[in-house]
Amino acid sequence: MLAKLMRMVAAQCAVFALVGLVSAPVMAKSHSGLDRSLPGESSSKSKKKSVEKTEEQAPAEDKRTGSVQLETTLADLGYKTGIQFDGVQSTHSSAVFFPVPRDVDLSSGRIRLHYRSSPLLHKLSNVRVYVNNTPRAAASLLADGDQVLDVPVSKADLLSKDGFIRVEFRVSMLFSDDRCLDERVNGGFLYIKPESSLSMTLSTSAASLRGAWDLLPREVKVSLPQGAITKEVFSAAWGLSEMLARENKKVRFVRLPDVGQVVIAPDGEMQSTFGVGTGSSNATLLSLNDGRRVIALSEPFDVEPFYFLSSKWIVLAAGSPYQVFPLEKEKAGGEPRYRLLLSSMGLNTETRQVDRLAEWDFAYSVDQMPAGYVPESLDLEVTAAPASDDHPAMFYVYFNNVLERAVRLENDGRSHAISVPIPKEGLSRHTSIRLVAQREYIEGDCHGDLPRFPMQVMPSSSLVVAKHSADEPKEFMGLSMYFKDGFDTYLPKSYLNRPEQVLEMLTKLVMDQSLAVNYKRINFYDAAAPVKPENPFLVIGRPVMDVKYAPVHFDKGHIQVVDGKEGNTMLDVDQLPGVVIAQLVKAGGSSGLQIAPGQEGNEILAHNFQFDHDDVAFVDAAGVLMTVNSHEPGGAKVYYPSAWSFKAFIDEYRYWLLFLIWVAMTAGVVFLFRRTRQNMPK
């Protein structure tokens, strides 16, 4: 009950929006990508030099001092491709939030900025680094090639009450000191690389379970019991794996006596392996005889306490600033609507000084929406300084780089409302929104001072969401809404003997498809026992099931995908033994998702489930091969060459059959005509 309440609270809060600053791309005119990089040494002053990209491991322990270096890169935060700024004769900025461990002794830190800039930039072009809104370092963008800027961070900067340190990059890019330069000559860019990082020096010992959780490295090793595990252990392992994955950590499962940073096992097995157990506590920080400390979970294998270790619960405890604010109910008895403040979703609502152009960028994902709600409109409040008729201020709104609205701002200096309906393409799993303000100078002396005026996207700007019925999904993207109240999971019982691989696959599946997992609703089936789902479900494998509809029928043998028009083979499952088929199916009284090997008996090796549209996908270890819409007439379709059916015969030879019918009808008409002529009186 507690788990369900927790998920309802978390889903109904915009809390995930702030977490999106740490886990989802935030774009600043800019194309963002996330990354962490933590160096092993600290610096007393800012310095800049060319470096080669290196692989970094975290955390790195200093044997002499007993301290540890913890590294967090932009990639770890979700900026997988870094942050890119384009456009000369202008300024840009982007802020990121690095998480800071709690309940540990922090001594110092360092920001290491890896970047590359255009060699065509003017010598006055520069980048500045701000820590918690305070300027700390600046560097010229004149040098060519890969560059590094080290910025020291004090202990006071790291002692943040909300568990984050704010780092902002401000960029001024000039192409020439000639203000009359044609703006179409654009040769400037700044690329902040994903290995840019925050490193922190801290004590190796954590004072609490929460501190040990924060100190977990990027690659977490989780130890499971020897032999066949129980359903409870499997459920707990899946729950923990999902939580770690949402914090951008990679999980690898091993078996005892191989000891990882996290151990999930019965207390008796811990006693026999380590000589010490968890005692009366379900989850605890266990001190081993060799001095190591591990996070231990034993009976009754309840992972709910670990939800409170996640950084998003700090935000939840902060109260009203991160709550979902209800809007007025519709007059005609419609469903209530809610608004998510854009400031909590990553939009910078501070006042901007605009000379000619300014941009605001942010992104939202499906899993940031309250359960059962979909985005309906973007409601903006924009305030700009008055301008003359010769200097009109324009405001543009882009969804996924598609211009959806362009308006001319009134010249009264007041706040104005701009409401933009969310387009259909705005309902994709990840949506980027770009706001652009531009003031045109129709005439004047280009050598004169370029006026600057203040403009602000107000903190009251919001994304309005409306309640949406959870209809049976027609495509994969509808699963998040259909599974909003949880789903039943069915797995072959054989996975209890070898859970490592399927746990990694399940975690990747729920992350890629933005599914809310109820780890207590897991069922294991025998090969011959029928599966009878009554609720929305996820089925792994090919169980005996009363299927009412499925795009792919495994009982028909050889599976191919052919061109619906020409009949050419596009994919042959038998020729690709590693193929896994994901499809939307109807069985029992509900719909669900089935993940099964393309050939009976093969292992499920796929770890990429990033598909939004269509209702059947073919995936292998390398990624998504193709997706098919089984309801699309004339498109690609599933074909079974070894199975004969009247419908398949009609589909395959329909053109010949039509020709034969035409010939027969023609012959019949000719025959009747001749008989009629013969019977006519002469």
198-239 pLDDT, tens digit each: 998 876 667 678 778 878 888 899 999 999 999 999 999 999
> What phi-psi label fits residue 184: left (phi over 0), alpha (psi between -120 and 50 degrees) or beta?
alpha
CA distance 368 to 3: 18
DSSP 589-646: TEEEEEEEESSTT-----------SSSEEEEETTEEEEEE-TT-TTS-EEE-TT---H
Higher confidence at residue 31 or residue 612? 612
> Average pLDDT, stretch 396-423?
89
At 249, is the pLDDT very low, low, confident or very high (cuts 50, 70, 90)?
confident
Share of the chain above pLDDT 70, in %: 77
CA distance 300 to 283: 9
Q: In the chain, what are the helix, strand and coil shares in percent, each to the nearest 5? A: 20, 35, 45
On whether the pTM is more than 0.75, the answer is no
Per-residue confidence (pLDDT) for residue 442, from 0 to 100:
53
Question: Residue type for 79, please?
Answer: Y
CA distance 522 to 520: 6
CA distance 103 to 214: 9
CA distance 58 to 39: 9
Per-residue confidence (pLDDT) for residue 169, from 0 to 100:
92
Minimum mean pLDDT range among 317-331, 398-412, 656-670: 317-331
Per-residue confidence (pLDDT) for residue 538, from 0 to 100:
94
CA distance 354 to 554: 61
Examine the pLDDT at 392 and tell me if it is beyond 60: yes
> Average pLDDT, stretch 614-639?
87
> Measured between alpha carbons, how far apart are the two ends of the chain, in Å?
95
> What phi-psi label fits residue 181: left (phi over 0), alpha (psi between -120 and 50 degrees) or beta?
beta
> Average pLDDT, stretch 331-357?
74
At 36, is the pLDDT very low, low, confident or very high (cuts 50, 70, 90)?
very low
At 18, is the pLDDT very low, low, confident or very high (cuts 50, 70, 90)?
very low
Evaluated on CA atoms 142, 143, 146, 149, the torsion sign reads: negative
Question: How many C-beta neighbours within 10 Å does residue 295 have?
Answer: 24
Q: How is the beta sheet containing 569-572 ordered, strand by strand?
A: 569-572, 560-562, 637-639
| CA 484 remoteness from chain centre | 17
- Do 50 and 146 contact (CB within 8 A), yes or no? yes
- Do 206 and 293 contact (CB within 8 A), yes or no? yes
For residue 629, report the phi and psi dihedrals to the nearest 5 degrees. -100, 110
Per-residue confidence (pLDDT) for residue 270, from 0 to 100:
86
CA distance 627 to 317: 42
355-387 pLDDT, tens digit each: 777 888 888 877 677 767 788 899 999 998 887
| CA 308 remoteness from chain centre | 21
Give, for 407, the enclosing helix (H) or strand (E): strand 402-408
Token pair 């990639």 in the structure block, residue: 75
Instruction: Determine if the peptide bond prior to 492 is cis (ω within 30°).
Output: no
Q: How is the beta sheet containing 402-408 ordered, strand by strand?
A: 357-365, 430-439, 393-399, 402-408
